[in-house]
Structure formats: C-alpha cells, structure tokens
C-alpha cells in the first residue's frame, strides 16, 4: 500500500543524508577540538610550571582536568603544582585519581605513599610502598620505596612505644619518642595531640600550645584541640586568647557542650576585666577595685587571675593615694612574685606618698634591674632620691603638718593656725622671739610654695623652688632676709600687718 507524501515532506527527506553528515562532522569537530584544547592546556601549564608561575599553571591544569576527566596526566601535573604550592591535602586526591586511572603509575603511587607517611597513615603508606616494589620500578624508585618502607616500620614501633610510655605515665619518654615520629610524620594530628598531652602533664604549656595549634589546622573539625587550647590559655591567665580559641570551637560546633560551658565562664570574666580597665582609664579607681574584687570571686580557682587582680588593685590604690592599703596589697603581690615590675613601681609610688623614701628607692632600683629601659622607673628613682635628699633639709609639708595629698584649703587653714601660734609678737624673751621669727618665716615659705601650683609641683618632684642651690642662684629673695622683711606682712590678709591676736 503506497502512502502518499506531501511535496514538502518529500523535500525534507531528500536533505536527511546531508544533515546526518553535517552532524557527524560537527561531533568529530568537537572531539578534535576537545583533544587539542586539553593538550594545549597541558603544554602551557607545563611551561608555566617550569617558569615557577604556579597559579597560572594550576589554572591550565584545572582546565585540562575539566576538559578530559579521564586524563591521568592532567591530574598528575595538577598534583605536582599543589605539592609545589605546599597544598598536600589537595594533591592527595589527584594522586589517588591518577592511580585509579593508571594503577601502574609508580611515580604517583610513590608520591602518595610519601604524603600518607607524612600524615601518619602508616598502613596505607606501607601498602603503596609495597605495590611500588612489585610494579617493576626504576632503580631510583625501588631504592626510595625500600627506604620509606623501612622508615615506616620504625615509626610504627616508636608510636607503639610512645603510647605504652604514656599509659604508664612516663611522659618524658613518650614525648621523646613522639619527637622522632613527628620529624617524619609532620602532618600527623594524632601524634601532635598525644605529644601535647605529654607536655600538659609535664607542665610545658608553651610546647603543648604549639602542638595543639598545629593539630587544629591539620584536622578540619578539631573542636577538641580548640577546647584544650582555650583551657590552657585560661589557666595561664590569658583570658583573651582563651576566648578566641573557644569561639573557634563553637564555630565548628555551636552545640559543643564543653566549649559552650567554658565560653560562658571566659566571657563573663573577660567582660569584668575589660570593665575594670575602662574604669582605670577613667581614673575611677574605687570602682575599678570593686570590679577586680569581683574578678577574684568569679574565678577563685586559678591563681593567675587572683594575682593579676591584686596587681591592678595595688595600682588603683597607689593612684588613689590610699598609701597604707596600696603598700599592703602590693606587698602581697610581691610575696608571690618578687620580680613583678608593675607592683614594684606602684609600691614605690605608695612609699613616696607615705614619705618612706628609702623604701621607695629600693623598689625602684629592683624594678630597674628587671627593666633597665623603662623611663618611668628611671624618673621615679631620680625623684625618690631627690625627695630623700630634700627630706634631710626642710619639708614644707612637715612644717605645716599636712599630708602631701592635702588640698589648698587645708594648707591655708594649717598655715593660719601655725602663723597665729608662732607670730614673733607673741614672744617677749629675745631668744624665744628669735626662734619664733625663724619658725614664722618657715611657715610663710611653706604656705608660699604649697599654695602655688607650679612651685608645689617642683617641690613634689624633689626640687626646692626656694633653695638657691636648686634654682642655681634663683629663689625668692623676700624670703632670704630675716624677720625685718616680714615687717608689715599680714599672713591673714593683705596690706600692712595689723592683726591683733585675742585669746578667749
């Protein structure tokens, strides 16, 4: 039975053979283009690798792998670039792909064995080395495979011995064995974590921190390493580093119970310390003392925080002129840590306020032994020495019977009382009058110095502004005469002296 076809349909059929040929040619063209493109990328990548342009070479090898996912050469060359860039984790999958595509590629297998050995995957590394020896390797490959296989066996023995020593609490021996292991297995997180535990037990926290930091990078989800780092820093008194590390733990696992519990404690302590330091910056020393007392209550079991808190309380009390308390607290700090420079400086300042100049000098000198380049120590020592020398001459504060912290109003009040008591007109006997004149002049000079901010500042630094020697010939001449220079001087007001004392 004949099927009738429309003229148009017959015309379309007449073109089919030609269309099919075109399609075949197009597919062949794609195939040829793909092969040549991969080869071009491989060749260009090879040249760039030889020139040391690793990033550009890597881009070409990426393109070659994408263009032909079964091209083992492309994977191998990309792995070579990764190794040259120090990215062994990225190189390992590529080497495994090479071996999957070409199991007799001994160079790739030998390189993978070496990487596995560095990672501490000893069984897998030994398997690769043994297969290399069975695959008709070159003399060089055979020699390297035998050497690495022997090294792997030795490391297996050392790891077993280290674990045995650790179990029987011989941490020094265990750490020594692990030192040798890690020289070869540099990327072995397990060995570093075990050695860190040894160092913790040996109280070598700096070394433990170093191993745990390495382990946290070698294992992608190593929450335990971050937790241990945080607790070590916390127990060392470094609350800021502790907070940083526990946050890294929670980034990996927000529900990590140990890290979350520790985080709350560290955050609270950190907040209290920061608040206390802000108060010190604002010179609100009394409030800062209270805040540091709260720090000691928040963490009473870690001595470092108690010591640090007392050190800062010592500073606050010295700055707040609470000399007796400052000396007491600073002395507590120095009893535990005799070379604490900050406590020595603060106690020295408190001693100066308390006019114990010789004690202040001792503290400043001891602080200088610890830190010769501290300008504050140098200036404090010089000031203490001047004040000691000054105290052996005349002390305006003692003359008026006021403390060094006395306010101007208090100084004037003391002056008026003493001026009334020692005014020469109160004395009839010539000898008594002469003594009273000298005393009265001293009182007036003391008032003059201590009520003048500039002169008082000089005196507090150990320089007598009325001493001709200190002033190199200067001084205030109206104080250097005698009682005659005070005739007509009214210590209670202005104008000629006419005040009449009355005693009730």
Taking 50 as the threshold, does the pLDDT of residue 480 lie above it?
A: no
Taking 90 as the threshold, does the pLDDT of residue 379 lie above it?
A: yes
pLDDT, mean of residues 209-230: 95
24 band by pLDDT with thresholds 50, 70 and 90:
very low
Model confidence over 46-99: pLDDT tens digits? 899 899 899 998 999 999 999 999 999 999 999 999 999 988 889 999 999 999
Given this model, what pLDDT does residue 1 score? 39
Taking 80 as the threshold, does the pLDDT of residue 2 lie above it?
A: no
Instruction: Give the chain's length.
Output: 504
Given this model, what pLDDT does residue 471 score? 55
169: Cα within 13 Å, side-chain hemisphere = 1
Q: What are phi and psi of 487, to 5 degrees?
A: -60, 130
How far, in Å, are 353, 378, 381 from residue 359 at the CA level?
Answer: 11, 16, 11
471: Cα within 13 Å, side-chain hemisphere = 13
Given this model, what pLDDT does residue 311 score? 97
Taking 70 as the threshold, does the pLDDT of residue 458 lie above it?
A: yes
| 3-class state of residue 138 by DSSP | coil
Model confidence over 419-444: pLDDT tens digits? 999 999 998 888 888 888 988 998 99
Asked if 187 and 164 count as a contact pair (C-beta separation under 8 A), the reply is: no
369 band by pLDDT with thresholds 50, 70 and 90:
very high
Taking 80 as the threshold, does the pLDDT of residue 285 lie above it?
A: yes
The separation between CA 414 and the C-alpha centre of its own chain, rounded to angstroms, equals: 51
Of 37, 29, 31, 128, the residue nearest 74 (C-alpha) = 37
Taking 50 as the threshold, does the pLDDT of residue 21 lie above it?
A: no
pLDDT, mean of residues 2-25: 37
- List strand residue ranges (DSSP E) for 17-129, in order: none
Percentage of residues in the chain having pLDDT higher than 70: 86
Separation CA 310–CA 290 (nearest Å):
11
Exposed e or buried b per residue across 98-133, where buried means at least 16 C-beta atoms within 10 angstroms of its C-beta: bbebeeebbebbbbbbbbbbebbbbeebbebbebbe
33 band by pLDDT with thresholds 50, 70 and 90:
very low
Separation CA 249–CA 65 (nearest Å):
36
Of 113, 100, 107, the residue nearest 80 (C-alpha) = 107
Three-class HEC string of 405-445: CCCHHHHHHHHHHHHHHHCHHHCCCHHHHHHHHHHHHHHHH
Please tell me what DSSP assigns to residue 3: P
In the structure encoding, which two tokens stand for residue 40, read together?
């071009």
In the structure encoding, which two tokens stand for residue 115, read together?
């990487």
Given this model, what pLDDT does residue 460 score? 86
Of 195, 128, 106, 124, the residue nearest 158 (C-alpha) = 195
Percentage of residues in the chain having pLDDT higher than 90: 70
Given this model, what pLDDT does residue 470 score? 60
Residue 144: which residues within 8 A CB-CB, separation 6 or more?
Answer: 110
In the structure encoding, which two tokens stand for residue 201, read together?
């037990």
Q: Walk me through the domains of the chain, giving residue ranges and CATH numbers.
A: 40-154 (1.25.40.10), 215-391 (1.25.40.10), 398-486 (1.10.287.110)
Taking 60 as the threshold, does the pLDDT of residue 19 lie above it?
A: no
Asked if 124 and 116 count as a contact pair (C-beta separation under 8 A), the reply is: yes
Given this model, what pLDDT does residue 405 score? 86
Separation CA 67–CA 38 (nearest Å):
6
Model confidence over 296-350: pLDDT tens digits? 999 999 999 999 999 999 999 999 999 999 999 999 999 999 999 999 999 999 9
Say what the pTM is.
Answer: 0.69
Given this model, what pLDDT does residue 433 score? 86
Separation CA 37–CA 283 (nearest Å):
72
Taking 80 as the threshold, does the pLDDT of residue 143 lie above it?
A: yes
pLDDT, mean of residues 155-171: 97
The mean pLDDT value of the chain amounts to 86
Cβ burial of 224 (10 Å; 0-12, 13-18, 19+) is middle
Taking 90 as the threshold, does the pLDDT of residue 230 lie above it?
A: yes
């Amino acid at each position: 039975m004949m099927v009738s076809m429309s003229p148009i349909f017959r015309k379309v059929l007449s073109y089919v053979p030609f269309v099919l040929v075109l399609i075949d040619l197009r597919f062949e063209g794609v195939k040829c283009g793909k092969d040549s493109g991969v080869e071009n990328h491989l060749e260009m990548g090879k040249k760039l690798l030889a020139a040391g342009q690793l990033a550009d070479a890597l881009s070409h090898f990426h393109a070659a792998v994408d263009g032909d996912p079964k091209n083992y050469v492309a994977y191998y060359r990309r792995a070579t670039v990764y190794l040259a860039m120090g990215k062994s984790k990225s190189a390992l999958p590529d080497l495994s792909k090479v071996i999957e595509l070409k199991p007799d590629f001994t160079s790739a297998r030998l390189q993978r064995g070496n990487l596995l050995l560095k990672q501490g995957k000893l069984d897998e590394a030994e398997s690769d080395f043994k297969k290399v020896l069975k695959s008709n390797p070159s003399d060089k490959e055979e020699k390297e495979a035998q050497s690495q296989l022997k090294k792997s066996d030795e490391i297996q023995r050392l790891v077993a011995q280290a674990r045995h020593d650790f179990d029987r609490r011989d941490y020094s021996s265990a750490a020594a064995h692990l030192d040798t292991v890690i020289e070869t297995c540099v990327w072995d997180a397990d060995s570093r974590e075990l050695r860190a535990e040894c160092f913790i037990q040996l109280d070598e926290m700096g070394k433990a921190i170093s191993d745990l930091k390495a382990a946290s990078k070698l294992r992608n989800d190593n929450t335990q390493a971050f937790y241990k780092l945080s607790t070590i820093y916390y127990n060392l008194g470094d609350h800021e580093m502790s907070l940083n590390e526990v946050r890294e733990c929670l980034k990996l696992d927000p529900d990590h119970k140990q890290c979350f519990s520790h985080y709350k404690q560290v955050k609270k302590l950190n907040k209290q310390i920061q608040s206390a330091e802000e108060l010190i910056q604002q010179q609100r020393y009394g409030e800062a003392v209270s805040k540091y007392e709260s720090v000691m209550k928040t963490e009473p079991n870690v001595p470092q925080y108690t010591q640090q808190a007392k050190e800062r309380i010592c500073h606050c009390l010295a700055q707040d002129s609470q000399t007796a308390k400052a000396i007491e607290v600073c002395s507590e700090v120095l009893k535990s840590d005799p070379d604490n420079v900050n406590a020595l400086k603060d106690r020295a300042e408190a001693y100066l306020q308390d006019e114990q100049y010789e004690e202040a000098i001792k503290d400043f000198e001891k602080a200088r032994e610890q830190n010769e380049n501290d300008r504050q120590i140098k200036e404090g020592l010089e000031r203490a020495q001047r004040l000691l020398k000054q105290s052996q001459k005349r002390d305006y504060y003692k003359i008026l019977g006021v403390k060094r912290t006395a306010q101007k109003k208090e100084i004037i009040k003391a002056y008026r009382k003493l001026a009334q008591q020692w005014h020469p007109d109160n004395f009839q006997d010539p000898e008594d009058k002469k003594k009273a004149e000298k005393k009265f002049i001293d009182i007036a000079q003391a008032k003059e110095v201590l009520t003048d901010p500039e002169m008082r500042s000089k005196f507090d630094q150990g320089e007598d502004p009325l001493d001709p020697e200190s002033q190199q010939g200067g001084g205030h001449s109206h104080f250097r005469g005698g009682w005659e220079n005070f005739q007509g001087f009214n210590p209670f007001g202005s104008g000629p002296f006419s005040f009449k004392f009355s005693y009730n």
